[in-house]
Amino acid sequence: MFGMVRRLRRDERGQALVLGAVCMLVVAVAVMSSVSIGHGVYEKMKLQDAADAQAYSLAVKEARAYNFLAYTNRAMVVHYSAMLTVMSYVSHAVYLDRTIGAAAKYLKVLPGIGPVFAAISAMIKAWVKTVEELVPTLVRVLTELNVSLWISQEAMLSATLYDLYSDAARDKSIHLTDPRAEVEPSMDDNDPFRDVPLPALYSDPGTLNHSNGKNFLHVLDDGPRSSSPWMGADPTGMATRGRLLNRNQNRLSDADMAKYRLLMGSMANAVRRNWTAQGEGPVLIGRRWNLRLCLIVGELRVEKTADSQIKSFAEQFEGNRNDQLFASDDIKMEVRPGCGLGFLDWSTVFELRFRVAADARNGFHQEYGNQKVSAHHPWKGITPFVTSDTSFFNPWKNHFGYPCNMVVLSKDMGAMRGNGGDESGKEVFQLENLSRNSFMRTRGSGKYNSDLAQNGPYGPRTTNMQEGIQESLLDMTWRYVGGKQDTFAEEFRARTGGMMAMSVGRAIYHRPGQWQEEPNFFNPLWTARLAPIQTHWDEQHLRFLIPTYRDANWLFNGLTY
């Protein structure tokens, strides 16, 4: 008996079992901690991917909207150029009818060659009749087409603005990337878009929706200012631009109207073809030619000139004609003594003007000097279009007129989300066998276990005892992320549920290679990209969502602004 006891006391077998149990506990805790952290990282990556996808998606929509504005503006310019071309046909046809046609009417009585001139006269008459009947219809159709393009521009702006008002139900890209992602409250208007008056959506400057919408629209020439606290009753500027269609309000003295009339008129005049702009062609039948004859007593010069352009007149000019589609074919006969004496001036002895115009008073034909025949070509004038007003004032902060949008998503990391008080769910990362077993209930330092509320930098602190929890060696509960001793952490948890991700998308004007062109709505070169958050314009939200941003604001200002 005693021998057996002595052998057992000297026996060293089983020591590894004790060490193994202790090590297995440590390994189990380490593995479970790694799994918990891994799940947390995975969930954060999914949430960040969802925020990035949404921000980039919104930036793509903004870039496509700007490109659409550029394409439609270019189409309008082409239409105005076409109007100028057909008006040149009218002036040239009038010139042919009053010169060659008039001569052919008398020459057709000549024997032998008379039938040739008769045919020429008939052809010119037919051409004049054709352009007189066709051109007014073409001008009217092209004008209405430009109005339709403007309406489509306004529809694109409204549709894109609607997309910027984010909510989880409408933004499919969010839930496709992370089904558990939630739109941060200030990005959700909390009401169906169609069920509230439009001004109500623009009146609150404290929401990301308002900020994203204003930042998208402030690039517009009639859009809201970046510094404005609200976007107004006409955020896209549609009502302002629409005044161009009102003859009584479309005045050159009005700066809002003049900028559109002069800009589009200059653009259209700049793209005219040579035949339309200044004329070209052979002697007698061309739009521009020059003929010189040296006579015994002097030199004779006959000049045929042409012109075509959009003109804008002030309201005092001839009863407020405003914009005109103008075309001319003029002949001037000049003489001077001697031949080849370049130091002597020319003297005008004869001049004919063949001019036509389309305007708000039905246009006119001007023939033989100052004689005008009206009611030929009605034209409403320059129609509305959307243009940009980019600013290089404080460029880093205003991003050279590039619109930005901020996306803030959150995710509730607790599983206690059952309906009707159902509390059967478990914390996402809480391991029940660890958090509820006694060996995990060891108290910590007890620093925050006091029942007495203490005042902190953000207000009264919430203690562990008030929250109904105890400090532990290992607490995998995400319910208390963000800290548990100040009101900021409480509000952070209330707003985000424990996890948050932010992203910024930006629409930029880009042309490969060396370029110095200012961003505009006439060249479709807008594209999208993600942008650094700290360079974003909405510091109000950044200061709340990222406390360290407030602490390091001086550093950001020193480096990026």
User: Locate tokens 């925020």: which residue?
Assistant: 51
Residue 303 pLDDT: 92
Distance between CA atoms of residues 309 and 270, nearest Å: 9
- What is the token pair recorded at 274? 């040579």
Question: Residue 330 belongs to what H/E stretch?
Answer: strand 323-337
Residue 135 pLDDT: 93
User: Locate tokens 């910027």: which residue?
Assistant: 164
pTM above 0.85, yes or no: no
User: Locate tokens 């024997």: which residue?
Assistant: 111
User: Locate tokens 């246009």: which residue?
Assistant: 363
Question: Residue 352 belongs to what H/E stretch?
Answer: strand 347-358
Q: Say how many C-beta atoms besides its own lie within 10 A of residue 529's C-beta.
A: 16
Domain boundaries, the chain: 1-38, 176-240, 392-558
Per DSSP, the residues of 188-207 read --SS-GGGS-HHHHHS-TTS
Q: Say how many C-beta atoms besides its own lie within 10 A of residue 252's C-beta.
A: 18
Residue 482 pLDDT: 58
Q: 223: helix, coil or strand?
A: coil
**What single letter denotes the amino acid at residue 518?**
E
DSSP, res 300: E
| β-bridge pairing 371-374 and 404-412 | unpaired
Residue 467 pLDDT: 53
**What single letter denotes the amino acid at residue 451?**
D
Distance between CA atoms of residues 50 and 46, nearest Å: 6
Q: 316: helix, coil or strand?
A: coil
pLDDT values of the chain reduced to their tens digit, one per residue, 561 residues: 666 666 666 666 666 776 777 677 677 666 666 666 677 778 889 999 999 998 999 999 999 999 999 999 999 999 999 999 999 999 999 999 988 888 888 888 788 788 888 898 899 999 999 999 999 999 999 999 999 999 999 999 988 988 887 665 556 778 888 888 888 766 765 444 334 444 455 556 667 777 888 888 888 988 887 777 777 788 888 999 999 888 777 888 888 888 898 999 999 999 999 999 999 989 889 999 998 888 877 888 899 999 999 998 877 777 666 789 999 999 999 888 878 777 778 888 888 889 999 988 888 888 766 778 877 889 989 999 999 876 656 655 556 678 888 888 888 765 443 333 334 444 444 444 444 443 344 444 555 555 555 555 445 555 555 555 544 434 444 445 555 555 666 666 666 667 788 889 999 888 767 667 778 899 898 999 998 876 666 666 666 666 666 655 555 454 443
Distance between CA atoms of residues 30 and 45, nearest Å: 22
Question: Residue 185 belongs to what H/E stretch?
Answer: none
Which residues, in sequence order, are bridge partners of residue 415? none
